[in-house]
Chain A
């Protein structure tokens, strides 16, 4: 049974770069009809999709974050990563990594537990 686990600093200073990694345990990130996404949720608010990456390396980003986001994949480590630069307090949120099944309408069928990132000096 595949599980996803987010990791990275819980505190980032304003204007700096937020960096998170998602590791897939129990299955290969390269197998199956999947793509891999980052989604965030500010406290008490709704879900916001950040972007996705395929195991091949192809990416798509949310238009509202595109200028600040980079998602990369390292299949040898079974990981994919998020970098969000020039962060502000508005980027404070619970960050989830998730797997989407593109063979089934692209729904998110597996989520990590989320990692809280606070942007503060």
Chain B
């Protein structure tokens, strides 16, 4: 299967944005979804794991969910800050294979 993300999204500071990650086949609920943030010229960092859990140090402005009706996962960032401007990648599993979505560029303007 593949994970499809929008190429880009944009929103204003203080607003809320949601990034989707749609699984092409099989149930989105059948394997965990993680989300990674990658700022320019930096290594990725996890912001959500196991669908909706936040690693230590990640602010609660970041939340994750899965929706079986649309077979997709989503990352929601509330109270947007300029520092949230980055590429975001979803990632899941096909057996032992780790699959990444194509990434979404978030612009905060």
Are chains A and B native binding partners rather than an unrelated pairing? Answer: yes
Q: How far does the Cβ of A84 sit from chain B's closest Cβ, in whole Å?
A: 17
Chain A 31-64 against B: per-residue CB contact (8 Å), 1 yes, 0 no?
0000001000000001111001000000010110
Counting contact residues on chain A (CB < 8 A from B), the size range is 20 to 34
Q: Which residues of A are found within 8 Å of B32, using beta-carbon distances?
A: 105-107
By beta carbon, the residue of chain B nearest A47 is B100
B14 at the interface (CB under 8 A from A): no
A96 at the interface (CB under 8 A from B): yes
Taking a contact as CB atoms closer than 8 A, the residue among A49, A101, A104, A111 that contacts B98 in the complex is: A49
A104, B43: Cβ atoms under 8 Å?
Answer: no
Number of interface residues of B (CB under 8 A): 23
A107, B50: Cβ atoms under 8 Å?
Answer: yes
Q: How far does the Cβ of B7 sit from chain A's closest Cβ, in whole Å?
A: 11
Distance in angstroms between the alpha carbons of A39 and B81 in the assembled complex: 28
Which chain A residues (67-121) contact chain B, with CB distance < 8 Å? 96, 101, 104-109, 111-114
A60, B97: Cβ atoms under 8 Å?
Answer: yes
A107, B49: Cβ atoms under 8 Å?
Answer: yes
A109, B55: Cβ atoms under 8 Å?
Answer: yes
Taking a contact as CB atoms closer than 8 A, the residue among B49, B89, B96 that contacts A46 in the complex is: B89
- A-B contact list, 27 entries, CB within 8 Å: A37-B98, A46-B100, A46-B102, A46-B103, A47-B36, A47-B44, A47-B89, A47-B100, A47-B103, A48-B100, A49-B97, A60-B96, A62-B97, A62-B98, A63-B97, A101-B49, A105-B32, A105-B34, A106-B34, A107-B46, A107-B55, A107-B91, A108-B34, A108-B36, A108-B46, A109-B55, A113-B43
